[in-house]
Amino acid sequence: MSDQGPVIEDELQPITEQLREEIIAWIADDPDPDTATELLKYLDENNLFELNRAFQGFLQFGTAGLRGRLGPGPSQMNRAVVARVAAGIALYMRDRKLNSIVIGRDARYGSEDFANDSAEIFAGMGFDVYLLPRPLPTPVLAFTLKELNLDVGIMVTASHNPASDNGYKVYLGKTVDQIKYNGSQIISPSDLEISAEIAKIKSVRELTRLQNFKIVDESIIRRYIHKTASLVKKPGEIKVVYTAMHGVGSETLQSVFRAAGFAQPILVDSQNQPDPDFPTVQFPNPEEPGAMDLAINAGRDWDADIVLANDPDADRCAVAIKDDGGWRILRGDEIGFILGRYLAENFPPTPGNKRVFANSIVSSSLLARIAESYGIDFKETLTGFKWLAKVDQLTFGYEEALGYAVAPDCVNDKDGISTALLLTDLASHLKARGEGISTYLDEIWNRYGFYGTSQISIRLKDLTVIDKVLDFFLTTPPLELAGFSIESIENLAKPRGDLPATEGIRIFLASQGVESSAIKVRLIIRPSGTEPKIKCYLEVVAEKSQAKRILEDLGSEITSLLEKILR
């Protein structure tokens, strides 16, 4: 049920004289002759589609930073936009007496130019600037920010987005705006304040650029490798297949495995090296149908014990396991349950140091029960790791979109490398006693009950139609869904409790019969913060076969309803 639904065409606006002058001024100030020439061509051809796409306002920060399609103009990712963003962040830093910054990048189109431009601009404005030496995983950037005790971190990446996109993640290392960042991504009001500073930049050609920035020493990267490897105390025998999904994770993951004492993973050769075209997958996201097919085929061919996948910037981790004679990709929530139990049992608190687990509102509610059963505090946050990373004394946090923080004191963000290592560690111990991860998961179900989750994702061209969906449920909701009555609807823009406001709705459904009184159904609908999608998250707590049937029926009905609303 992924990426389905109607295609909404953008309404093309005519080019007014005011917009024409804006376009000409942007072309004159563009530091990149390629995007300047591209815009000039669109203007000469009166190409309304491309000009409207390029001039829909300046890119804004979303769930995971600034992210957009590569292309000319203020609405897309290009050197002119990045230069303005860098200069705006520099003004923000200067006002708050933040003096140092580290910049990293993935291997996407434009990433090297965006990182170098940023380093030159920050250096030109007098800051102490560090640049990672080559394309490296996002967790390495987050680690370096904390390890060098710097003020700001920037990662040039679009993570798991299509090849046409790139992005810009911003981290803060200190307490700013009375928010204890501790090396995590920015939230409001910092993002709004940075956006206000960006708006003050009138010309990027007038910015001073210097090249007196420093290249981060390899010893820092080795520290990340060895600190991550130290999570494993007694490595066992295990056969692992690994794919980097055409991203930057392979070199670092192999180094971590070697340092931890595990055998080197079997690599999916066709996806092992960074390739900005992502030629073997439609979307380089392990969640997408078919993205892990090559890795699973390799797992089958090599009779592997476990198959692991990182997304292109290696901050997410997916896993496929042997189950009922075949291979099955675990859901993000299932990985969260597994890691939660494993960390609760094997990483006890030190004296005077309490443990705290957390997950996002769209993730399953089971982690809260696991935490409670081990005497661990639990917190629920908004979607996005920028919120999870703010939880005080966080021990383990996850979101269902394959993001996990298993060592927040090392990387205060999701980390697909350390997650892959801990899953391998667990699988090796289970193998030693003749079991697998499927058995471990069944033990969780047997103790706490079956928590089934699924997701509906509909790709859009016009994001304004999301308001139609939310308004429908808030003003004229259906009486029932898949045989369940609507018990309550919470507008997350006006949340109950201590959650900050966010766009979306949370719906609880009530079963209609004594025999099904133990069934619990939850539904959350919200816009994606990283892609032009509307997402719907379903959770059913019931007997396993019953829960799967309800999820299928509810998913089908919700999909049809959403498509009807979006027409």
User: What residues does each domain of the chain span?
Assistant: 17-216, 238-447, 450-566
At 304, the pLDDT band (50, 70, 90 cuts) reads very high
Pair 309, 294: CB distance under 8 Å: no
Find the distance separating the first CA and the last CA of the chain, reported in whole Å. Answer: 18
- CB environment 448-483: b (16+ within 10 A), e (fewer): bbbbbbbbbbbbbeeeebbeebbebbeeeeeeebbe
Classify 393 in phi/psi space as left (phi over 0), alpha (psi -120 to 50) or beta: left
Query: Residue 468 has what pLDDT?
Result: 85
Helix, strand, or coil here: 182?
coil
Query: Residue 16 has what pLDDT?
Result: 87
From 31-35, 415-419, 458-462, 514-518, the region with the lowest mean pLDDT: 514-518
Tokens matching residue 13: 């606006």
* Residue range 380-398: mean pLDDT, rounded: 94
* Residue range 380-391: mean pLDDT, rounded: 94
Q: How far is CA 437 from each of CA 330, 355, 564, rounded to the nearest angstrom?
A: 10, 24, 40
- On the question of pLDDT at 296 being above 80, the answer is yes
- On the question of pLDDT at 196 being above 50, the answer is yes
Residue whose pair of structure tokens reads 């004229």 in the numeric block: 476
The CATH code that applies to domain 450-566 is 3.30.310.50
What would the pLDDT profile of 453-467 be if each residue is shown by its tens digit? 999 988 877 667 788
Pair 291, 284: CB distance under 8 Å: yes
| H/E run at residue 442 | helix 437-448
Classify 267 in phi/psi space as left (phi over 0), alpha (psi -120 to 50) or beta: beta
Q: According to the CATH classification, is domain 17-216 in 3.40.50.11820?
A: no
Pair 410, 438: CB distance under 8 Å: no
From 120-129, 332-341, 522-531, the region with the lowest mean pLDDT: 522-531
Among this protein's residues, is 159 annotated catalytic?
Answer: yes
- On the question of pLDDT at 13 being above 70, the answer is no
- On the question of pLDDT at 72 being above 50, the answer is yes
- On the question of pLDDT at 205 being above 90, the answer is yes
- On the question of pLDDT at 330 being above 80, the answer is yes
Task: With CA atoms as reference, report the closest residue to 145 among 118, 183, 174.
Answer: 183
At 432, the pLDDT band (50, 70, 90 cuts) reads very high
Task: With CA atoms as reference, report the closest residue to 194 among 178, 212, 219, 177.
Answer: 177
Query: Residue 11 has what pLDDT?
Result: 56
- Angle subtended by helix axes 79-95 and 111-124, to nearest 10: 40
Tokens matching residue 555: 């998913």
Query: Residue 530 has what pLDDT?
Result: 65
* Residue range 528-543: mean pLDDT, rounded: 86
At 513, the pLDDT band (50, 70, 90 cuts) reads low
Pair 358, 378: CB distance under 8 Å: yes
At 348, the pLDDT band (50, 70, 90 cuts) reads confident
Query: Residue 63 has what pLDDT?
Result: 67
- On the question of pLDDT at 264 being above 80, the answer is yes
- On the question of pLDDT at 175 being above 50, the answer is yes
CA distance 5 to 376: 41
- On the question of pLDDT at 67 being above 50, the answer is yes
Residue whose pair of structure tokens reads 């963000």 in the numeric block: 413
* Residue range 249-257: mean pLDDT, rounded: 98
* Residue range 545-556: mean pLDDT, rounded: 93
Query: Residue 564 has what pLDDT?
Result: 86
Query: Residue 82 has what pLDDT?
Result: 98
Within 10 Å of residue 407's Cβ, how many Cβ atoms?
Answer: 23
Pair 481, 508: CB distance under 8 Å: no
Query: Residue 517 has what pLDDT?
Result: 60
CA distance 275 to 294: 16
At 8, the pLDDT band (50, 70, 90 cuts) reads very low
Whole-model pTM: value is 0.93
Query: Residue 239 has what pLDDT?
Result: 98
Cis peptide leading into 532, omega within 30 of 0?
no
Tokens matching residue 245: 């999904």
- CB environment 108-121: b (16+ within 10 A), e (fewer): bbbbebbbbbbbbb
- Among 75, 111, 118, 159, the active-site one is 159
Pair 380, 360: CB distance under 8 Å: yes
Strands (E), 81-141: 100-105, 128-131
Backbone angles phi, psi at 138, to 5 degrees: -55, -40
Task: With CA atoms as reference, report the closest residue to 315 among 238, 249, 268.
Answer: 249
Equal fold, 17-216 vs 238-447: yes
One-letter-per-residue 3-state SS of 237-249: CCCEEEECCCCCC
Q: How far is CA 450 from each of CA 326, 397, 518, 519, 539, rounded to the nearest angstrom?
A: 21, 21, 12, 10, 10
Tokens matching residue 75: 């609405």
Q: Would you give the DSSP letter of residue 209?
A: -
Residue percentage of the chain with pLDDT more than 90: 81
pLDDT averaged over every residue in the chain: 92
- On the question of pLDDT at 421 being above 50, the answer is yes
Query: Residue 292 has what pLDDT?
Result: 97
Instruction: Please state the separation of Cα 286 from the chain's center in Å.
Output: 12
CA atoms within 13 A on the CB side of 72: 24
- On the question of pLDDT at 1 being above 60, the answer is no
At 510, the pLDDT band (50, 70, 90 cuts) reads confident
For domain 238-447, give the CATH superfamily. Alpha-D-Glucose-1,6-Bisphosphate, subunit A, domain 3 (3.40.120.10)
Query: Residue 3 has what pLDDT?
Result: 32
